[in-house]
Amino acid sequence: MVNTKVDLCGITLDNPIIPASGTFGFGYEFAELYDINVLGTFSFKGTTKEPRFGNPTPRIAECSSGMINAVGLQNPGVEKVISEELPKLKKCFDKKVMANVSGFSVDEYAYTCEKLDKCEQVGWLEVNISCPNVHGGGMSFGTDPEAAYEVTKAVKSVTKKPVILKLSPNVTDIVAIAKACEKGGADGISLINTMLGMRIDLNRKKPIIANKMGGFSGKAIFPVAVRMVYQVSSAVEVPVIGMGGVSCADDVIEMMLAGATAVEVGAQNLVDPFACKTIIEELPKAMEKYRIENLKDIIGAAHNG
């Protein structure tokens, strides 16, 4: 019998499958479709200090092998997430959840993380310094090693739970950013977030998205994600969570061979709300197909060839 358990920053997951932030809401919406306790865990909707309405519409543009979104971190703010969203989640999810945090200053990141760190339900803090859809925040911290270091250091100074930095692929040297986060005290690295993309309406002759550009995700970016996970996992000592275009059990195994300890599934949840459930069910069969008895044994195995 195969073993799908993995250890993420000291917490054991039944399997490595984690729905990515922004594609799974606060969980209880999907609990109406299936028992979400089958998941390893999930990363809930990106949360900021203050409520955010998000970007103007339209926010979504379809692509042949993915999608572009510019939602803009719409969320009710950390106070309401703690007082309203987490209690709803507790009724349908009995595992630790991953809190995804965004900000527009180092102080905002620290404030929001400190609040969520005190929540019993939260197991990890996934600090998003890579959102390409907001102005003056998010990705601006994830494209400069010094800024990434400062955010990491500030968050670690006010929290006790594992802090995982979510990085942007829209950089020249992803390894330099990852190493700066590790130097700042990061307990893990999460990558990749969306790439920066754009579509133009041929009839209107104008950008489809009101924000003009947005985050490009979906199957098309999978090879880029695998490459960056491979590079970063060989350069840092902390665990890596891989994501970007993952849509099936084979993708999960490939991502883990590249060096991922756990794997997030993003855009595929928007195409098929049962995507993560299906991947979890198919994973043991895929492991048997590739003669894998224990998933832990293949983490980073592609580095040995």
Q: Give yes or no for residue 140 having a pLDDT over 70.
A: no
Strand pairing partners for 101?
Answer: 47, 127
Whether 155 contacts 142, CB under 8 Å:
no
Domain range list for the chain: 6-52+78-196+222-304
Q: Give yes or no for residue 190 having a pLDDT over 70.
A: yes
For 271, phi and psi rounded to 5 degrees? -85, -45
As a whole number of angstroms, the distance between CA 222 and CA 143 comes to 20
Q: Give yes or no for residue 289 having a pLDDT over 90.
A: yes
Among residues 141, 46, 28, the alpha carbon closest in space to that of 99 is found at 46
Q: Give yes or no for residue 177 having a pLDDT over 90.
A: yes
Q: Give yes or no for residue 86 having a pLDDT over 50.
A: yes
Q: Check residue 135 and give its pLDDT.
A: 45
H helices of 82-221, where? 86-90, 106-117, 139-142, 145-156, 174-183
Q: Give yes or no for residue 12 having a pLDDT over 70.
A: yes
Q: Check residue 134 and give its pLDDT.
A: 47
Kindly report the CATH number that applies to the domain delimited by 6-52+78-196+222-304: 3.20.20.70
Q: Give yes or no for residue 95 having a pLDDT over 90.
A: yes
Q: Check residue 141 and give its pLDDT.
A: 78
Q: Check residue 305 and give its pLDDT.
A: 64
As a whole number of angstroms, the distance between CA 104 and CA 29 comes to 28
Q: Check residue 130 and give its pLDDT.
A: 78
Strand pairing partners for 75?
Answer: 52
Q: Give yes or no for residue 49 having a pLDDT over 80.
A: yes
As a whole number of angstroms, the distance between CA 94 and CA 91 comes to 8
For 69, phi and psi rounded to 5 degrees? -130, 150
Whether 248 contacts 239, CB under 8 Å:
no
Average pLDDT score over residue span 284-298: 98
Q: Give yes or no for residue 138 having a pLDDT over 60.
A: no
Q: Check residue 143 and give its pLDDT.
A: 83
Q: Check residue 268 and give its pLDDT.
A: 97
pLDDT tier, 133 (very low <50, low <70, confident <90, very high otherwise)? very low
Running DSSP on this structure, what letter comes out for residue 75? B
CB atoms within 10 A of CB 22: 27
- Could you give the percent of the chain with pLDDT greater than 90? 91
Q: Give yes or no for residue 80 having a pLDDT over 50.
A: yes
Please state which of the ranges 122-136, 155-169, 193-207 shows the lowest mean pLDDT: 122-136
Of 113, 131, 181, 276, which residue is the catalytic one?
Answer: 131
Q: Check residue 131 and give its pLDDT.
A: 60
Q: Check residue 304 and give its pLDDT.
A: 85
- Could you give the percent of the chain with pLDDT greater than 70? 96
As a whole number of angstroms, the distance between CA 162 and CA 159 comes to 8
pLDDT tens sequence across 201-255 = 999 999 999 999 999 999 999 999 999 999 999 999 999 999 999 999 999 999 9
As a whole number of angstroms, the distance between CA 153 and CA 165 comes to 11
Q: Give yes or no for residue 128 having a pLDDT over 70.
A: yes
Q: What is the pTM of this model?
A: 0.95
Average pLDDT score over residue span 273-294: 98
- Average predicted confidence (pLDDT) for the chain: 95
Q: Give yes or no for residue 272 having a pLDDT over 80.
A: yes
Among residues 74, 80, 148, 166, the alpha carbon closest in space to that of 116 is found at 80
Q: Does 9 qualify as catalytic in the annotation?
A: no
Q: How far is CA 231 from CA 226, 228, 253, 264, in A?
A: 9, 5, 17, 18
Q: How far apart are the first and last CA of the chain?
A: 26
